[in-house]
Amino acid sequence: MKKTARAHTNIALIKYWGKADAKLRLPLMSSLSMTLDAFYTDTSIEESENMEFYLNDKKQDEVATKRVFKYIDTLQHKFGVSGNLTIHSTNHVPTAAGLASSSSAFAALAGAFTRFYDLNVDNQELSRLARIGSGSASRSIFGGFAIWQKGHDDESSYAYALDEHPNMDLYLLAVELNSHKKKISSTMGMKDAQSSPFFESWLKRNDFELSEMIDAIKNNNFTKLGEIAELNASEMHAINLTAQPGFTYFEPDTIHAIKLVEDLRKRGIECYYTIDAGPNIKILTQLRNIKEIKKIFESEFNNVNIIKASFGPGISYLD
Ligand code: PMV
């Protein structure tokens, strides 16, 4: 029988950027995210003759299926179940444009898998299973604000909800400046970033920045939330630039967009940026400023695509 799960993507306000264990995807730091309502993945699993994976209704070739089949194989071994499966995923996320579609993809896949085999797992365990597929997916099991505690092994590294239904005036504008597939995978980027002389400092700051972010959320303090998120993202990109050899996800338009956010702020339109493993920026702001920010970005960039998002829900099951 076919089983379908839906998971939303999340944006990290405190980033995960470094692995302690690549196979289990244990992180070197804890992270905190906002689950987004506008972007999600639906994944269904059913029995079939052969293993097949369809993404947005297109059958995927060997290269594209490798990571998904390896992941299914790992889970089947873990739970002592077997069989060939047809997996259909529909991504309501601009794929690989810096919006971490892997977070919703592996959360939905883990959810559909556990439903298909009727495995009795709670959301904490589901978060651990999603984590093995993609680190950021561990947080997409939960809505609102989620924290992925780094832990020290497979058992202790999972995400939990900090607040599933936040009552905060907070919006994210995903500004799609460049829709090219990212050139450096997050796995490669995280590995290379560890050669930065600032990597240790980045790790040392994690506890402090995480607790400041939790304070900002608890006190409904948008300014503090934006300032820490922007600093945390800049630190992540600074360690990429200072890795040996250095690299960056930034494109000229990324810098242009950063400057525009700074200019807007100077003019009293409060907004902050955060950037993941790609050239696009995401703006954090509040309801009253959305119209003006959109207008200014649309007049500065040709064909820019701006999508508004707010808090999204945790994992759900469609059949
Ligand atoms: O789990 P991955 O491979 O999607 O890596 C996520 C990396 C960042 O998006 C840059 C940060 C994060 O915590 O989501």
Q: What is the pLDDT of residues 185-244, one digit of tens each?
A: 999 999 999 999 999 999 999 999 999 999 999 999 999 999 999 999 999 999 999 999
**Can you tell me which atom of ligand 1 is nearest the CA of 16?**
13
Q: Give the Å distance between the CA of 98 and the centre of ligand 1.
A: 9
Distance CA 287, CA 310 (A): 10
User: Residue 278 in contact with residue 237, Cβ under 8 Å?
Assistant: no
Instruction: Say whether pLDDT at 174 is over 60.
Output: yes
Instruction: Say whether pLDDT at 107 is over 90.
Output: yes
Q: Give the Å distance between the CA of 248 and the centre of ligand 1.
A: 15
Distance CA 126, CA 145 (A): 17
pLDDT digits (tens, 9 = 90+) for 251-292: 999 999 999 999 999 999 999 999 999 999 999 999 999 999
pLDDT of residue 96: 42
Q: Give the Å distance between the CA of 56 and the centre of ligand 1.
A: 22
Ligand 1 pocket, residues with Cβ under 6 angstroms: 12, 15-17, 31, 100, 102-103, 134-136, 186, 276-277
pLDDT of residue 196: 98
Q: Find, among 261, 243, 252, the residue nearest to 306 by Cα.
A: 261
Percent of the chain having pLDDT more than 70? 96
Distance CA 68, CA 53 (A): 8
Distance CA 231, CA 14 (A): 9
pLDDT digits (tens, 9 = 90+) for 38-80: 999 999 999 999 999 999 999 999 888 999 999 999 999 999 9
Complex-level ipTM beyond the 0.95 threshold: yes
Which domains does the chain possess?
A: 3-166 (3.30.230.10), 171-309 (3.30.70.890)
Instruction: Say whether pLDDT at 317 is over 70.
Output: yes
Distance CA 209, CA 230 (A): 11
